[in-house]
Structure 1
Amino acid sequence: MEKLWFKNYLPDTRHHLIYPEGPVFQFLIDSARQYPENDAIIFADRHITFSQLDLITNRFARFLQDKGVRKGDRVAILAPNCHQNVIGFFGALKIGAIVVQNNPMYVERELEHQLNDSGSETIVCLSDLYPKIKNIRANTRLRNMVTFNLDGSPVSTGDDTVDLQAVINDYSSEYRQESVVPEDLALLQYTGGTTGVSKGCMLTHRNLVANVLQTVEVVGKNYRRGDDYVIGVLPLFHVYGLTCIMNMSVYMGVAMILFPRFEPKMVIEAIHRYKVGVFFASPTMLIAINSYKEIGNYDLRCLHTCISGSAPLPNEVKTAFFKLTGVEVVEAYGLSEASPVTHSNPVNGKVKIGSIGLPVSDTDMRVIDINSGAECSVKQTGELWVKGPQVMKGYWNKPEETANVLEDDWLKTGDVIEVDEEGYVYIVSRKKDVIIAGGYNIYPVEVEDVLFTHPKIQESVVVGIPDAYRGETVKAVIVLKESETATTEEIISYCRTKLAAYKVPRKVEFRRELPKSAVGKVLRRVLREE
């Protein structure tokens, strides 16, 4: 590709960055010194300044050491977005422990797998979720149980657990500082399980530090450093939220407004009240805000930066949000194995509709033909490979799976793409999602783009299902807009006017909602399995 993308970098965007040699928690120490009285976290009506957050995480670090937690030990967190999640993360990192974020929506079987796979012996857990842990504890290596209530009130589980709020109140802030170097592991970020059994991506301090600086270089142009607000509704247990909301906010010295779940009204009110500047979102969230019935009562034109990731962004959603806010939503791309950001359209730069943009600083890419393994050129379809300082060391305790995705430091993403003559990347499909019907390759996103233009359709996803004659055939699963009705024949007829015959869905199913991950990504695998 000869780094075609460089010519569309903004003039002040550096091709190569200099990364600090410190650990990721140094961001917090630095911001506590530079912006001690600035809000770091706003959760409900609670405000925590950077100096307070630094002090509290020191106390939690001391507690962990008193409980025998040492450098390299795994500390699990099972919590939604809340200040306790942030405390657990930075407190564990300060003593050189490795954080294991867990999805609060997981059932006991899934949690047991991740806790055992990671070898976690300590967990920080929301009290409402503690019954799940209690039921599986005997099957794990857990020995330190720390629980909390969202409002900070005392916890009483009746078991040998420790109340996090008591730790924050009572423990000394003096802890034994470990030598933590950039190549040390900081995080086991488990993949969401959307493509099978979840695996722990080994992300180092260098990976996380690098990806924050890379992302700031491309999308942080409008941040008011030390004086801004960021909506924190993307889950921190997902690497998108962890890097782009938590770590970026701490690095930039700005306040993250945390929400344990996405509720359009609460997010809209927070943007209006605090004059929020930054919103990292998913298309699902933007759709909900665009269609909120009372949106006219709020002023969202304070926003200056909005990034969409985790799923393709329909142009209709982007256009509607611009009319509402005056902000051009910038589409970006990443994956857990890359901390996560590898590509983005440049904020304040040239944005191409339907594209995930350009590789971020210090990130190289290849496009490899999925059949021949040959390297592709411009406008040829193939698998995206990326290389950069944000790419993981591998999967935890899974050398074979690691060898399947890492080759000479290149990460095979599994996404099928095309690159245009200016270096902009377009996702065609997941390699595993390609539908092969009668010998033709059908890319679901192409069919979904057509479905989204239908005036009655709010959301849709296309999957391949077994077909005795064609091998596979196309099925569309559709969510209609409120109060709308449609028939299978109507949808198929519409598609026939816009798609080649072999791409037209043969089956249509209407649903109230689609199965989604915590960040709003449609779980296509779930639909295929059904």
Structure 2
Amino acid sequence: MPANSPYPTVHIPEVDLWEFIFDRNDRPADGQTIYRSCDGNRHYTFGDVKAAATAFGQGLITRWNWKQGDVLNIYAPNDVDFGPIVYGVLYAGGIVSPANPAYSVDELSFQLSNSGSRAIVTTKTFLPQALKAAAMSGIERSKVLLLGTDRDQQAQHWTEIQPEHGSRGPLRCKVKPTTDLAFLVYSSGTTGLPKGVMLSHHNIVADLCMIHGSVGTSYRSEDDKILGVLPFFHIYGLTGLVHQPLHRGIELVVMPAFDLKVFLESIQTHKITFLYVAPPVIVRLSRDEMVSKYDLSSVKMITSGAAPLTKELIDSVHRRLNLKINQAYGLSETSPMTHTQPWDEWYSSVGSVGKMFPNMTAKYMSPDEKETQAGEPGELWLAGPNVFLGYWKNDEATKNAIINVDRRRYFKTGDVGFLDTNNNFYITDRVKELIKYKGWQVAPAELEGKLMDHPLVNDVAVIGIEDRENHTEIPRAYIVHSKRGADAGDTTTGLPKGKQSEADAEEIIKWTASKVANHKRLRGGVRFIDEIPKSAAGKILRRVLKERAKNESVATSQTKSKL
């Protein structure tokens, strides 16, 4: 039988996002601070957000003749302006398509062209790339706008797009919540070009209601502050950090990007109580000496997503800082959050992603599409009101991802895991990323979790490489060495040199062999690299490492395992 959520079913109104946030009776007070910059110099109250978004939306309609379904791209790091811009587009009936500011001109141009974006908002820092990509994608130069405090003569600021002074702006454009898009977000592209994920107004409204009805009962507006360090351009940050504070009336302290010193200072200065992070931040909290210089006692809970955490790493942070860490799960295609460990179960179900949100149904399915029993591995299928409409201009991908079973519309996540007898969900790996060693399945995420406990490992990714001699795949680990810079022997790359590198690699290989079954050993060796390639959500881009591995022969590897 399909698994159902242990939480009570929540009511999900069939309204668009604007009405859900701004027109409900229990909305936050107009004077409630929602977005505040981490330096404290800028902020928006709930009333400020509504007023700024209304003016921008009316300006789009009157000055640009904005039509329902027009797409605006935001190509920028986190900023307090992000929310008002998003809701201004929604006021005008438009669709928001956020882009990673780390994108190259070509990558940005692909998203602009594929999404059919009519305009782009960026910062002064990223304006040169935005202008080039806009030109390549046929976007008028006048449709490139700036956000933030900086100005530039080459582009208008977004606040200049508003109705004529003294005129009454047009009424809000009404949309159909279940069928009209609010967001066109792009998947991380771990195995190829990013795909546009179509999220309706109802999808996002549903996820916000489901969060509030489950783990969201653990925090509330009058007591809590959230630190906004996850990128807003990814759906995890967009839902959890842009929409949720507006919905709940919780103050969000906005960081443009992760910097450990600013991160720690912000927690201490603003008395942050709740954080969403990715696993590398947890590693820094467990090991970096700088952490001990700050008071982090205000933090009630840290929620980590994107990859599994081991009990050892969670223990390490809790012993050192008395901080609690729970784990969460979600995907772009599910708006995104679907599971989180309840706060009072953060330690009793370590390794799981916790309980499924209300209003959802799930199955773990075998390769021949038969439902597995508790404890048996399978691919996770999810059904619920937060499941996306499909992939933009890609019917074939949509057909492969969505299946109708028992009058439910299931999304085939591609993630492998299992369900225990206490309704805890576990995610062990991606279907396409499992390594097949002589018929045995090796989960990269399991090896990565164990390797993160080794003192020489700051970050790691495991991939399967071809062993032509034995006609099989074997696991190889790409590792960011914990001893960087001069201490590691190389001030250029921060990686260990020569014999020390070989010795460290062999030490890691032997240590891993003592922790895992024979078929899971690192027969492909270890490679030290400066940084693990990852998506905005912190997911490892294994295709990048696989391309790199093509040029690295196992037979000539300086760190080839002799095991």
Structure 1 letter corresponding to 2:143: M
Aligned pairs for 1:74-223 (under 5 A) are: 74-143=71-140, 144-148=142-146, 150-151=148-149, 153-157=150-154, 161-167=155-161, 174-183=169-178, 184-223=180-219
1:498 pairs with one of 515, 526, 529: 515
Q: Provide the residue aligned with 2:466 in structure 1.
A: 466
In structure 2, the gaps of 5 or more residues are 489-499, 549-563
Q: Provide the residue aligned with 2:54 in structure 1.
A: 58
Q: Contact 2:4 / 2:356 at 8 angstroms: preserved in 1? A: no
Identity, % of aligned pairs?
33
Q: Provide the residue aligned with 1:527 in structure 2.
A: 545
In 2, Cα distance between equivalents of 1:222 and 1:373 = 37
Residues 300/168 of structure 1: CA separation in 2 closer, same or farther (3 Å cut): farther
SS in structure 1 at match of 2:344: coil
Indicate whether 1:410 and 2:387 are aligned. no
Q: Provide the residue aligned with 1:440 in structure 2.
A: 440
Using the TM superposition, give the Cα deviation of residue 227 of structure 1 relative to its aligned residue in structure 2, in angstroms. 4.9
Indicate whether 1:289 and 2:285 are aligned. yes
Q: Contact 1:264 / 1:289 at 8 angstroms: preserved in 2? A: no
Residues 457/91 of structure 1: CA separation in 2 closer, same or farther (3 Å cut): same
Residues 42/33 of structure 1: CA separation in 2 closer, same or farther (3 Å cut): same
Choose 396-405 or 316-325, whichever is displaced more: 316-325
Instruction: Tell me how large the CA RMSD over aligned residues is.
Output: 2.1
Q: Provide the residue aligned with 1:249 in structure 2.
A: 245
In 1, Cα distance between equivalents of 2:212 and 2:315 = 24
Residues 325/225 of structure 1: CA separation in 2 closer, same or farther (3 Å cut): farther
Using the TM superposition, give the Cα deviation of residue 4 of structure 1 relative to its aligned residue in structure 2, in angstroms. 6.7
In 2, Cα distance between equivalents of 1:519 and 1:225 = 26
Q: Contact 1:437 / 1:502 at 8 angstroms: preserved in 2? A: yes
SS in structure 1 at match of 2:218: coil
Aligned pairs for 1:345-384 (under 5 A) are: 345-349=341-345, 351-370=348-367, 372-384=368-380
Aligned pairs for 1:382-393 (under 5 A) are: 382-393=378-389
Q: Contact 1:264 / 1:292 at 8 angstroms: preserved in 2? A: no
Structure 1 letter corresponding to 2:123: L
Structure 2 letter corresponding to 1:90: Y
SS in structure 2 at match of 1:294: helix
Q: Contact 1:146 / 1:164 at 8 angstroms: preserved in 2? A: no
In 2, Cα distance between equivalents of 1:217 and 1:149 = 34
Q: Provide the residue aligned with 2:15 in structure 1.
A: 22
In 2, Cα distance between equivalents of 1:449 and 1:200 = 30
Residues 437/135 of structure 1: CA separation in 2 closer, same or farther (3 Å cut): same
Listed one character per residue, the Cα deviations across residues 121-162 of structure 1 (whole Å, up to 9, x for unaligned) are 1111222212123223333242352422532x43211xxx42
Q: Contact 1:35 / 1:226 at 8 angstroms: preserved in 2? A: no
Residues 255/206 of structure 1: CA separation in 2 closer, same or farther (3 Å cut): same
Residues 26/313 of structure 1: CA separation in 2 closer, same or farther (3 Å cut): farther
SS in structure 2 at match of 1:331: strand
2:328 pairs with one of 321, 332, 337: 332
SS in structure 2 at match of 1:121: strand
In 2, Cα distance between equivalents of 1:148 and 1:137 = 14
Q: Contact 2:229 / 2:258 at 8 angstroms: preserved in 1? A: yes
TM-score by length of 1: 0.92
Choose 162-171 or 380-389, whichever is displaced more: 162-171
Indicate whether 1:518 and 2:536 are aligned. yes
Residues 123/470 of structure 1: CA separation in 2 closer, same or farther (3 Å cut): same
Using the TM superposition, give the Cα deviation of residue 226 of structure 1 relative to its aligned residue in structure 2, in angstroms. 4.6
SS in structure 1 at match of 2:131: helix
In 2, Cα distance between equivalents of 1:466 and 1:512 = 23
In structure 1, the gaps of 5 or more residues are 7-12
SS in structure 1 at match of 2:276: strand
Q: Provide the residue aligned with 1:478 in structure 2.
A: 479
Using the TM superposition, give the Cα deviation of residue 424 of structure 1 relative to its aligned residue in structure 2, in angstroms. 1.3
Structure 1 letter corresponding to 2:169: E
Q: Provide the residue aligned with 2:561 in structure 1.
A: none
Using the TM superposition, give the Cα deviation of residue 201 of structure 1 relative to its aligned residue in structure 2, in angstroms. 0.7
Indicate whether 1:509 and 2:527 are aligned. yes
Q: Provide the residue aligned with 2:491 in structure 1.
A: none
In 2, Cα distance between equivalents of 1:27 and 1:383 = 34
Using the TM superposition, give the Cα deviation of residue 96 of structure 1 relative to its aligned residue in structure 2, in angstroms. 1.1
Structure 2 letter corresponding to 1:47: H
Indicate whether 1:270 and 2:287 are aligned. no
Using the TM superposition, give the Cα deviation of residue 314 of structure 1 relative to its aligned residue in structure 2, in angstroms. 2.8
Choose 475-484 or 197-206, whichever is displaced more: 475-484
In 1, Cα distance between equivalents of 2:271 and 2:506 = 47
Listed one character per residue, the Cα deviations across residues 65-117 of structure 1 (whole Å, up to 9, x for unaligned) are 12111111111111110022222211001121011111111111111111111
Q: Provide the residue aligned with 2:228 in structure 1.
A: 232
Listed one character per residue, the Cα deviations across residues 274-314 of structure 1 (whole Å, up to 9, x for unaligned) are 11121111111222233332323322121123211112223
Using the TM superposition, give the Cα deviation of residue 27 of structure 1 relative to its aligned residue in structure 2, in angstroms. 4.6
Choose 90-99 or 175-184, whichever is displaced more: 175-184
Q: Contact 1:61 / 1:92 at 8 angstroms: preserved in 2? A: yes
SS in structure 2 at match of 1:378: coil
Structure 2 letter corresponding to 1:150: G
In 2, Cα distance between equivalents of 1:218 and 1:287 = 27
Choose 414-423 or 317-326, whichever is displaced more: 317-326
Indicate whether 1:34 and 2:28 are aligned. yes
Using the TM superposition, give the Cα deviation of residue 422 of structure 1 relative to its aligned residue in structure 2, in angstroms. 1.8
Listed one character per residue, the Cα deviations across residues 180-199 of structure 1 (whole Å, up to 9, x for unaligned) are 23212100011011221111
Q: Contact 1:436 / 1:442 at 8 angstroms: preserved in 2? A: yes
Q: Contact 1:61 / 1:95 at 8 angstroms: preserved in 2? A: yes
Q: Contact 2:186 / 2:197 at 8 angstroms: preserved in 1? A: yes
TM-score by length of 2: 0.87
In 2, Cα distance between equivalents of 1:235 and 1:394 = 23
SS in structure 1 at match of 2:391: coil
Residues 296/490 of structure 1: CA separation in 2 closer, same or farther (3 Å cut): closer
Q: Contact 2:81 / 2:147 at 8 angstroms: preserved in 1? A: no
